[in-house]
Amino acid sequence: MVFFLLSEKEYFYAVLKKALILFTILFSLTHIGIAEIVNIGIYHNSKITSFVFHPEEGEYAVFTEKGKLLTLDKSELLELKYVNNKIYIKSIDKDYGSFKKVRFIGTAANNSFKVKPKNSKRIKIYEDNLFVNLHSYYNYFQLINNIEINNYVAGVVESEVGRSPPPEYFKLQAIICRTYALKNITRHQTEGFSLCDKVHCQAYNRKPKSELIKTAALETNNIVIVDSDINLIVATFYSNCGGETAKSEEVWKQRLYYLRTVKDTFCLHENNSVWTKKIPRSNWIKYLKTHHCSDDAIHHECGLEYFQQGREQHYMKDNVKIPFVKIRSDFKLKSAQFNVIPEDNFVRLEGKGFGHGVGLCQEGAMKMAKDGHSYINILHFYYSNVHMINLESLDFFKADY
C-alpha cells in the first residue's frame, strides 16, 4: 500500500531494498538447514562389546551389509557380540553369522527398543533406529541412535532437567536444546555421527517418560533461536546465575552480543543460589604463591580476604591476578562468583550460583515459568535481541520467492 505514495525512483529503491533483505535472509538460511533426523552416538566411550537388542514398541527390520536379515517384533530379542572384528548375531535358537555393520530400522508408526549391555543390569530404551558399527581401532561397538529430532530433543530435555519443571519451561528448554543440537550438528562428524549422548554435547540418557515433555517438543516443532544475521545462536544454559548472568567473553574468548549481563532476581531463593566451601589456609596460600604472590605480599598486601563487587573477572590484589574462572576450575567450585573469608586454619569461600553463568539461568527461568511468564518472554529475558524462527515456515518463504 505504501508504494502508491512513492515516486517511481523511490518505488524502485524500496523494491530493491526488499529484494536485498530477502536475499540476505535466504543466504543466511543455507547455513542452517533443516535436520529432521539426527545421529546420536549413544553409550559414547562405554566400550560395549556385547549387548541384547529387544524391540519395546513397534517392529524392526534388521539389515546388514548383505541385505535384510530378519524382522523382529516385541516377542523376540537378538544378542550382538564383538568377535574377531565382526558383529556376531544370534537369537535364542539361531545363529545368524557375522557382519561388518547392522541396522535396526523401525517399520511401525512408533518404534522403540531396549538395549542391555553385557555386565550391566541397566536397560535403556531409545526411540526410532539403531546403527551398529565396529569401532575401527578400539575393538568395541559404536552404537548410533538414528532418531527423529523431536524425539531426541524430548530425550535431552528430560535428561537435562528432569520431569518436575512446569510445562512452559519444557517448551523453552526444547527450543534451546534443538538450537544447540543444530548449531553443533557436525561436532562428531569425523566419528560418523552428529552428537554424543554426554554433557560434552547434551545429556541424552534414554526415551523420555514424560508426556508433557514430548508434547513440548512437538508444540515447538522446528522453532529455533537465531541472531540478527539469522545464524543459530550459541544457546548456553546452566543451573543458577546467583543474581547476575555473565557475558560470554568473561568465560570464553568469544564476545557474542546476545550473551550479556542480566540482573536476575528470579533465581535468588532457588536451590543453587548460594554455596560455601572451606579450603585449608595453607593450600590457599600455596595457590596464591604459584600465581606470583610473595610471602611478604600475602602478609602485607594480598591478604586473604576478598569481596567481589558484582561479577568480577579477576582475583586481583597487588601483584596477584588470577581469572575467577580459573580458580573455579582449579578448585572445582560451583561458580566463579565468591568471596574469600579467612577463618583460623582455613579460608571459607562464600559463593553464588551454580555453573558458568552465560545465557539462560535454568532455576531463574523455571521460577519465571511458575510465575506465569511465557517461554517467549523468558527467552528474551536471558538472550538479548534474538529471534525465534520456524525453520519450516522460512523454508516455505524461501520457496515462494
Residue ranges binding Zn ion (CB under 5 A): 196, 200-201, 241, 264, 267, 361, 364
Rg (CA), the chain: 26
Kindly report the three-state secondary structure assignment for every residue of 232-299: ECCCCEECECCCECECHHHHCCCCCCCCCCCECCCCCCCCCCEEEEEEEHHHHHHHHHCCCCCHHHHH
Q: Going by C-beta distance under 8 Å and a sequence separation of 6 or more, which residues neighbour residue 194?
A: 35, 38, 39, 40, 181, 185, 186, 187, 188
Of 201 and 347, CB closest to Zn ion:
201
Q: How far is the CB of 310 from Zn ion (least distance, A)?
A: 14
- Of 210 and 261, the one with the shorter C-beta distance to Zn ion is 261
Closer CB to Zn ion, residue 200 or residue 286? 200
Output the smallest distance, CB 353 to Zn ion, in A: 7
Min CB(274)–Zn ion separation in Å: 12
Question: Grid coordinates standing for 369?
Answer: 515459568
Type of residue numbered 399: A
Considering the complex, state which of residue 227 and residue 264 has its C-beta at the smaller distance from Zn ion. 264
Closer to Zn ion by CB, 208 or 357: give it.
357
The answer to whether 233 and 183 have CB atoms below 8 angstroms apart is yes
Nearer to Zn ion, 68 or 269 (CB): 269
Sort 202 into a burial class: Cβ within 10 Å, 0-12 / 13-18 / 19+.
buried
Q: In angstroms, what is the minimal distance from the CB of 234 to Zn ion?
A: 15
Task: Output the smallest distance, CB 345 to Zn ion, in A.
Answer: 34
Parallel, antiparallel or unpaired: strands 37-42 and 195-196: parallel
In sequence order, what are the beta bridge partners of 263?
Answer: 244
Buried b / exposed e along 218-252 (16+ C-beta atoms within 10 A): eebebbbbbbeebebbbbbbbbbbbbbbbbbebbb
Q: Which residue has the cell 529455533?
A: 224
Residue with smaller CB distance to Zn ion, 293 or 386: 386
Residue with grid cell 560470554, as numbered in its chain:
248
Nearer to Zn ion, 251 or 361 (CB): 361
Among 267, 150, 134, which Cα is nearest to 215's? 150
Smallest separation (angstroms) from Zn ion to the CB of 235: 16
Tell me if residue 57 falls in helix, strand or coil. strand
Least CB distance from residue 183 to Zn ion, whole Å? 13
Write down the least CB distance from residue 250 to Zn ion, Å: 15
Q: How far is the CB of 378 from Zn ion (least distance, A)?
A: 11
Indicate the residue among 320 and 361 with the shorter CB distance to Zn ion: 361
| CA distance readout (Å), 179 to 127, 202, 320, 350, 400 | 20, 11, 40, 34, 25
